[in-house]
Homo-oligomer: A and B are copies of this chain.
């Protein structure tokens, strides 16, 4: 590999075109954008007009993979294309940085991991929220063990507001056949990843997934999930694209205190001793030790997509750690699939869910999926902002 990683971007819609701008901004000195691909002529015209000369433009990801002069590809195509494109790329000797979600069903993601192992090619995930100083600081605090084991978590992440216009902007959007899911698969992969990253993998999930509740769409736009964790902790995860103004508030209750992340701040209350000891040692029926609220210090850095891309390059060039691996992508998707399955069946699902059952139920949904007549649309506006601590 040369001193720089030469990279091609597959899919230059909303997200892919932003990746191009970031790659060309000078903020990713170890990455060189050499090619882009899109199935849509309108997007290739955009590339021809807006991107510097020398960047090759392909009319399919497959062609880019086979023909372009690059070491790696960044896949920002619709969800269902993640697996075939990533597999084809790795089999043709390219490393892959894949947009979230890794795939639509865990069985497909597992196949991607196998190909990565077989080919020895890196498969990394665009979990850019992991670069946010706020979540990094929480993770560090939890990892230190200072607050003890998890007792409860409650994440209300309803600041993903979308109007009907958003869903009408693409024929594939918010359909089972085109996207494979709604808020769980499009907006929330970040939070599902962070949830696992911070609190560990849940053991069971019970959920209510309401489809087309707030919009004229066939997939879910309102989800409430109840989680249990190994060790006895419990959790609630609430998300929606229909709440306005939304909330993004993560509360984590632990044996030695409580952490609340909201509005870009992390407020901590630490107990002088473990509640689990206090509960049985105290002579006071209504014990309430004084705790001081402190703000968790962070390094203030939040490089987002640029951070993930630079880590990807550093990994390929010097073996430095990725922001998120394929395994992380599979874990987040496993939880996502489990919440879907719990919602579809009304059952409490033990993780990992039965992949065959999930795939069969999804296939049934796809069979009844209605393709919309609306033309695809790419927005030039900043589409990603969804509050202080969450970005798409």
Contacts and interface: CB of A to CB of B under 8 A. Distances in A.
Given A208-B234, A234-B224, A251-B247, A161 B242 contact: no
Interface string A253-292: 1000110100000000101000100111011111111010
Contacts of A269: 245
Given A224-B236, A238-B154, A286 B162 contact: yes
A151 B285 contact: no
Contacts of A242: 151, 275, 279
A80 interface: no
Interface stretch (A39-47, A93-101, A188-196, A379-387): A379-387
A387 to B, nearest CB: 9
A336 to B, nearest CB: 19
A383 to B, nearest CB: 6
A238 B236 contact: yes
Contacts of A285: 162-163, 165-166, 169, 379, 383
A244 interface: yes
A235 to B, nearest CB: 9
A310 interface: no
Contact of A286 (B215, B234, B240, B385): B385
A202 to B, nearest CB: 13
B165 A291 contact: no
Given A245-B258, A286-B383, A226 B208 contact: yes
Number of copies: 2
A163 B284 contact: yes
Interface in A309-348: 346, 348
A243 interface: yes
A15 interface: no
A346 B348 contact: yes
Contacts of A245: 257-258, 269, 271, 288, 291
Interface string A176-219: 00000000000000000000000000000010101001110000
Contact of A258 (B240, B247, B284, B287): B247
A222 interface: yes
Nearest to A223: B234
A152 interface: yes
A184 to B, nearest CB: 16
A261 B226 CA distance: 23
Contact of A165 (B152, B215, B275, B282): B282
A26 interface: no
A161 B244 contact: no
A14 to B, nearest CB: 10
Interface string A36-79: 00000000000000000000000000000000000000000000
A253 B319 CA distance: 47
A300 interface: no
Given A245-B258, A245-B291, A279-B215, A286 B166 contact: yes
A213 to B, nearest CB: 7
A375 interface: no
Contacts of A361: none
Contacts of A232: 213
Contacts of A214: 279
23 contacts: A158-B253, A161-B287, A161-B288, A163-B279, A163-B284, A163-B286, A164-B280, A165-B284, A165-B285, A165-B287, A166-B285, A206-B206, A206-B208, A213-B232, A214-B279, A215-B279, A224-B234, A243-B275, A244-B287, A247-B251, A286-B381, A286-B385, A286-B386
8 A-B pairs with the lowest CB-CB distances in the bound complex, closest first: A166-B285, A244-B275, A163-B282, A245-B269, A165-B285, A163-B287, A164-B280, A163-B279
